[in-house]
Amino acid sequence: MRRTEPTRIGEIMGEYFREHPRLSKLQTEGRAIEAFREAVGERIASCITRIQVYQGRMFVHMDSAIVRHEIFMRRTALTRQVNALLGAPVIRTIIVK
């Protein structure tokens, strides 16, 4: 069906993600990674080597033992903070490696 009126890109993307819910989940997980980096701050984020999100669990890999311990001790508060930034309960737990 050909459209005759201009449509906003946000509307088109929203329609596309409703038709493909798996992609919407991937987009939300990507936003969760960025929200985590924002929640911990620039200094701690620089020590993180890899972040993965799988089935509501966020796996955080880092080099520094001190930063690893700090994240481990604050993981419940960080989980709440990331979910608040996202506006939805996307992350259930943070696993530090």
| Residue-level pLDDT at 3 | 67
Instruction: Judge whether 74 lies within some domain.
Output: yes
Q: What is the CATH number of the domain that holds 58?
A: 3.30.300
**Strands 93-96 and 57-62, sheet pairing:** parallel
- pLDDT tens digits in sequence order for the chain, 97 residues long: 566 788 888 788 778 777 776 666 667 888 899 999 999 999 999 999 999 999 899 999 999 999 999 999 999 999 999 999 988 888 999 999 9
- Domain for residue 1, yes or no? no
Q: Flag whether 89 is in a domain.
A: yes
pLDDT of residue 30: 84
In a domain, 88, yes or no: yes
- What confidence score (pLDDT) does residue 45 get? 93
Question: Distance between CA 61 and CA 47 in Å, rounded?
Answer: 9
Number of domains in the chain: 1
Domain that holds residue 89: 9-96
By CB neighbour count within 10 A (0-12 exposed, 13-18 middle, 19+ buried), where does 64 fall?
middle
Please report the pLDDT score of residue 22 as a whole number.
65
Is 2 domain-assigned?
no
